[in-house]
Chains A and B, each alone.
Chain A
Amino acid sequence: MEIKLNELNDIFSKAFNTQTNITADSVREDFETWDSINQLNLVVELEDFYHVRFTMDEIKNIISVKNIVEILKKK
């Protein structure tokens, strides 16, 4: 699966309900808005956009853009 950074940024913006500017190196600590509710929103939007379902371990590892790309690539 090819993951485009701009698509991923749109998903972040939608999930966090605010305009985000992610980079390939963005991590959870970079965002004030990346709390547990927005973690949930992010997972919901990612699953919906890429038509995937994450395992519980994968959900726990969604803490950086790098991880997200890695997990999605394996799907």
Chain B
Amino acid sequence: MNSILILSDVVLDPVVKEIKLLYPGEAAIDAYYEEDIITRLLNINELDPGKYNFLFIHSDQVFHQKDQLWQQTYYNAVAGISKSFTGNILVSNACSRSWKATPLKLSLGNVFDTGAIYNDGFTRLTAQPNVYVFDFMDLCMSLGTQSLYNYNLGHLYQMPYTKPAIKLIAGQLMSQVSFLAHEEKKVIIVDCDNTLWKGVVGEDGADGICCDNNAEGILHYQLQLFLKARKEEGFLLCICSKNNEADVKEVFDKKNLPLKWNDFVIKKINWDDKINNIIDTGKELNLGIDSFIFIDDNLFELNTVKEILTGVSCIHLTDNYVDLLHNMNSFLFRKRQILKEDMEKTAQYELEKLRKNEAHDFIDLDEFIANLDISLDIRINDTNDFPRLAQMTGKTNQFNFNKHPYNEDELAAFTEKGRIYSLKVSDKYGDYGTVGIILIAINDKTAVMENYLVSCRALGKKIEYTFFDHVVAGLGAEGIELQDIRFKENDKNLPAQKFLKSINYGNKVK
């Protein structure tokens, strides 16, 4: 159980009473009120502070106006305590009301002298490793000072808050204590349909789903913006969705969404149950599921996860915007501190995955592939394949030599000057379908590889090498020499770049 020592320059007994009522047994609290809070702070040892693992210091400078000199002394006193106090310290940022008439041109708002919250003293104070801001000003913003303060009570009883304010302070204090007493959340797993967007992609199609700044899709659009910001603060984003992966990928390819396909480090898009998908995500990330947040619109999924994976924090995405705002404010999504490394988390993780894959290559990949019983079916100028091939030229990004979409007519026209090789793959687990295409333009005895694409689901099994070798060897047998390979580097076709580097055809690449 947490034990909290409260030192305040206003009476907080109603807050303590509220905590005992709403959070029974969660914290032992002792609260001391002293209008001269600096003297109280300087004599804190009288209160045996070693007994407590949290210290909440609240000077309400909206109610008690203080000048800058006083503030400096106050911040110095707290900083002094922070060096000897072994637990965490929460310092309220309730700052001075300015009595000066603020010139409108300089107005930071008439009520709060915002300069005072973030002045040097306060910034230096919260730079101490165990000192955290208790964001009282955020409470003021959400409730409004008119509804938060009761000055009559304040002047009679030194307790200047209304009932709604008391509830909010109690709630925020306990949320923050609980947040600091536990490990931070690190991973946000989201569902797709009716969560990342409005609609069901399997039914409505990629064009039928909605996620934009208009009324219908705004909630989902805002959620994506919110998640993107969290990602930039170091959260890892993952998808867990009952869908066909290709359908979901298509939405990200077609729609200009705030979040991109690659923003998600792990995507479990299949028809397995979400429990196993979440457990697998934890294994792959090498992170405990206690650090996971799971967001879904489906109460059945949420309740199942909540019941079986008790450490996962579940958030229900309703169609009510107010709920979204409330959830976004939750401490679950907060970080104690944000460092530069946090902002690069996803990129780091991607690199780690590449490394792992490479290590894989050298250890047992050949054996793994040999065991798959892969068979390739390569056809030339087969018009039956053209619809799929045309789709691939538009959709494939990772292994695509030149991002240049062809339609079926353009493919048919291409066969007049060259050959279109299409690749079908299957292994002992099943059929991959048509996953590769090579375009060869032929001029007498010389050939140019105009394009080469392999769908990402077929990558990692050396199929791309076999297909390439087969085509080039076949041309050689006919006495046709491959002169050029057309290749255009972009920020998405890294696997194709790696492939080219590995095959030693560098002098032919144009």
A residues neighboring B (CB under 8 Å): 17, 36-37, 39-41, 43-45, 47-48, 53-56, 59-60
Contact = CB atoms under 8 A, between A and B. Distances in A.
A40 B154 CA distance: 10
Nearest to A37: B13
Contacts of A48: 162-164
A40 B150 contact: no
Nearest to B152: A56
B20 to A, nearest CB: 9
Contact of A53 (B150, B156, B161): B150
A16 B155 CA distance: 21
A70 B396 CA distance: 78
A54 to B, nearest CB: 6
A37 B157 CA distance: 8
Given A44-B163, A47-B163, A48-B164, A56 B155 contact: yes
Interface of B: 11, 13-14, 17, 150, 152-153, 155-157, 159, 161-164, 166
Q: Sorted from nearest, which 7 A-B pairs have the closest CB atoms?
A: A48-B163, A40-B157, A56-B152, A44-B163, A37-B13, A40-B159, A59-B156
Contacts of A36: 157
30 contacts: A17-B17, A36-B157, A37-B13, A40-B11, A40-B13, A40-B14, A40-B157, A41-B13, A41-B17, A43-B153, A44-B14, A44-B150, A44-B153, A44-B161, A44-B162, A44-B163, A44-B166, A45-B163, A47-B162, A48-B163, A48-B164, A53-B150, A53-B152, A54-B152, A55-B152, A56-B152, A56-B155, A56-B156, A59-B152, A59-B156
Main secondary structure of the interface of A (DSSP, over half): helix
Contacts of B17: 17, 41
A28 to B, nearest CB: 15
Contacts of A59: 152-153, 156
A11 B313 CA distance: 36
B32 to A, nearest CB: 14
A56 B164 CA distance: 20
A72 B13 CA distance: 25
A41 B166 CA distance: 11
Contacts of A53: 150, 152
Contacts of B153: 40, 43-44, 59
A3 to B, nearest CB: 18
A19 to B, nearest CB: 15
Nearest to A45: B163
Nearest to B20: A17
Contacts of A43: 153
A43 B14 CA distance: 11
A47 B166 CA distance: 13
A16 B156 CA distance: 19
Contacts of A41: 13-14, 17
A48 B163 CA distance: 6
